[in-house]
A = this chain, B = another copy of it.
């Protein structure tokens, strides 16, 4: 059984392009928000705190794949349903479904890795094993 969270987004004028519809990179931005909202809903502390206490910088994306079905525009509210589809040693796969009421607007996956600051060079980030306690919170 997998946990799932719904992140709500109000679409604003400035999110839309001259065609009057959401400029598509904003969906990636909102899926990123939805990822964080998912972890928060599961009880995982903010990265800021995990960076200070455990050196965990966050979960940058390694790969994104999104299919766009319908456009959205300003004045509308959309909902992003997010879950974790699978876990690997250092990575996991998010699935996001973006809906406006009954309409599926777009859906996609993100492959993300847990990363920490490289102890030898704080300017570098490196992948780390998925923290078991965080995985447990999200499953």
Contact = CB atoms under 8 A, between A and B. Distances in A.
Interface residues of A, number: 40
B14 A25 contact: yes
A25 B20 contact: no
Contacts of A46: 74-75
A27 B47 CA distance: 22
B64 A48 contact: no
Contact of A65 (B18, B23, B65): B65
A98 B21 CA distance: 26
Contacts of A123: 20
A73 interface: yes
Contact of A66 (B58, B63, B75): B63
The 3 closest A-B pairs by CB, nearest first: A25-B28, A25-B25, A25-B29
Given A18-B73, A21-B60, A62-B68, 17 more contacts: A12-B33, A13-B17, A17-B18, A18-B18, A18-B19, A19-B125, A20-B48, A23-B29, A24-B61, A24-B64, A28-B28, A46-B75, A61-B68, A63-B65, A63-B68, A64-B68, A65-B65
